[in-house]
Each structure stands twice: as structure tokens, then as C-alpha cells.
Amino acid sequence: MGAIKSFEDLKAYLTSGNGVTRKKMAVANAVDMHSLEAAMQAVKEGIVEAYLVGDGKIINERLEYYFASADKTYVHVVDVADPQAACEEAVRMVKENECDILMKGMVNTDVILRVVLNKEHGILPKGRVLTYNSILNIPGYHKLAFFTDPAVIPAPNKEQRIEMIKYALETARKFGVEQPKVALLHATEKPNPKIAFMQDYMDIIELWKQGEFGDCIIDGPMDVFIAMDKERGGIKNVPSPILGDADVLIFPDFQSANCFYKGLVSFGGAGMAGLLQGTEKPVVLNSRSDSEECKFYSICMAAILAQ
């Protein structure tokens, strides 16, 4: 398998049949059209088998009305009318390996997170770092940009950042990137000792040299130009094995990751996919303002991680 370089590649890979198997996905309170449409598209493309957990009457009505002609062989309705109970049932199905992927339906993020994080019945193993792992498909960039974390950890400490890098590396490798190039981002290439995470960056590079992260290249601090733009980054004459070719972008904080991706989604034609990692299985946790495309590709991302 060559590396997957765009969302089109991603879909083509998952629908190729080449050793790729359909994954089972539990959708918590799947009563809204947003999650139903994304799940049904992923079913249609052969990517998942959907377990729609929620009020059976509502779900069945919607399936009949909006997806009348769809093949329902891989669609199952699990009738749990109460939203909280539906979350609990979906999480249980994932925890007990009946499903490979958890997806949020019509339920507040806080509510499903409480169930996911529940010490007894949840799916976050003790001591694991919960973080949001994402991918940008930027028309002007020559490959996918795996990036973290735009949503969950405001200002990662060193231990969290190390885990975030490992999750992103795992994702990039599952996408066929053999030796991922990881850019530790900062406003400039000059380390600024006044900035808290600078020492973490240095320590992480030291750990990389000791083999902690496997076969990959980690460099930084560097700015977005050096990481992703050979022409503009090159003018700076900063020697970096990454120059203009980063696979993985590690952002200083979730503010910078968030502003970066939203700018490119709104004004750079970029597509975005993302999910929660650190849990036993990937959790697709899109928000209402995410597009249908974003939801679909987030399921695709989860399906690859679950292979």
C-alpha cells in the first residue's frame, strides 16, 4: 500500500476491498439526520456496519422515509429510547468488543464524554491521555496533514504531548506513511526560552534520537512555512529534514491548531476529519458545524485506525 495522500485516496483505499474489512460502528442516540446521513453513507460505501442506538420508533421512521431505497443489510437498530441510556448502551457495545468504533449522535458532547470516561463502564483505560487527533486535506498541499490537538487539551504538558505525537504517528502509519515527518510548530524557528513548551520540544527531540518514537523524523521548533511551504520556508535558510514536507503537525496549543484548521476550511478549501483517541476504540465526535464530508471522512479515519 502506498501512502494515502488525500481524502479521495482514503475513500478509494477503504472501498478497494483489498484486505480492508467493514468495521462495526455503534452510534449513540442516532436519531438526528446529521449522524444518520454520515453513518448511512459509510454503510453504503462498504466502510461500516452501523448499530443505530436510540429511540427505535424515530430511527426506523427516518430510515424508511429518508433512506427508503438503501440496502439495510448492514444497518441495525438498537432500541433504547432514553438518550443517556443510548450512550451507555453504545459505549457498552464498544467496550465488550461488539463494535469497533463509537460515534456520537444527537447528544451533547459533555453527556457522551461522561459515559466514555466513566471509571467503571467507560472506555478510557486508566492513565491514557484523551486527545483529539485530526487530519486536514488541503488542496494546495501535496499530501494529508495529520495534526493535533484542535479541541480537547488546551495547553498540553510534556507527557500529554508525547502521547499526542504517538497517536498522530500511529494514524500516519496506518495511512501508509512509512517515515512520518513530524513538525513541532512555533511562531518562528528560534527557540524562545520564555515560552513554556520550548523545553518540552527539546526533550521530545532528545527522546526521538533515543528511538522513543520509532521510524520517523521529528524536528522543531519551526513555523508553518518551514513545515509546509518549501518556497517560503526555504527563504529562511534553516536546515531542516522536513522543509515543506511535514506529515504531522504538532501545534503549541489547541488555540493555534483550531485557528489554523478553521482558517483553511473556510478560506483554503480544506476538508477536515478528526476523532477522539486514547480510548480503547476510536470515537467519532463531530460537532454540528462540521460538514457532512467532515463526518464521513472522520468515520473513514476511524475505520482505518480500527483495521
Residues that bind its own copies (CB under 8 A): 138-141, 150-151, 154, 185-188, 192, 194-195, 223-225, 228-229, 232-233, 235-236, 251-260, 262-268, 270, 287-289, 291
Q: Which of residues 157 and 192 has its CB atom nearest to its own copies in the complex?
A: 192
- Helices of type H across the chain: 7-14, 33-44, 56-66, 83-95, 109-117, 158-174, 198-209, 224-228, 230-234, 254-267, 292-305
Q: How far is the CB of 222 from its own copies (least distance, A)?
A: 11
217-222: strand order across its sheet: 75-79, 48-54, 23-28, 101-104, 283-284, 271-277, 131-137, 145-148, 248-250, 181-185, 217-222
Question: Distance (Å, rounded) from C-alpha 34 to C-alpha 294?
Answer: 11
Q: How far is the CB of 76 from its own copies (least distance, A)?
A: 29
Give the rounded distance of the alpha carbon of 202 from its chain centre: 26
Q: How far is the CB of 285 from its own copies (least distance, A)?
A: 13
In the chain, the N- to C-terminal Cα span, in Å, equals 14
Q: Which of residues 29 and 137 has its CB atom nearest to its own copies in the complex?
A: 137
Q: How far is the CB of 45 from its own copies (least distance, A)?
A: 24
Q: Which of residues 89 and 149 has its CB atom nearest to its own copies in the complex?
A: 149
Q: How far is the CB of 234 from its own copies (least distance, A)?
A: 9
Q: How far is the CB of 78 from its own copies (least distance, A)?
A: 28
Question: Distance (Å, rounded) from C-alpha 91 to C-alpha 102?
Answer: 7
Sequence-distant (6+) residues with CB within 8 A of 96 are none
Q: Yes or no: say if 45 and 11 are a contact pair by the CB < 8 Å rule.
A: yes
Q: Which of residues 39 and 224 has its CB atom nearest to its own copies in the complex?
A: 224
Question: Distance (Å, rounded) from C-alpha 150 to C-alpha 153?
Answer: 8
Q: Which of residues 211 and 239 has its CB atom nearest to its own copies in the complex?
A: 239
User: Residue 50: left (phi > 0), alpha (psi -120 to 50), or beta?
Assistant: beta
CB atoms within 10 A of CB 60: 13
Question: Distance (Å, rounded) from C-alpha 22 to C-alpha 45?
Answer: 10
Q: Which of residues 139 and 214 has its CB atom nearest to its own copies in the complex?
A: 139
Q: Which of residues 125 and 154 has its CB atom nearest to its own copies in the complex?
A: 154
Q: How far is the CB of 280 from its own copies (least distance, A)?
A: 26
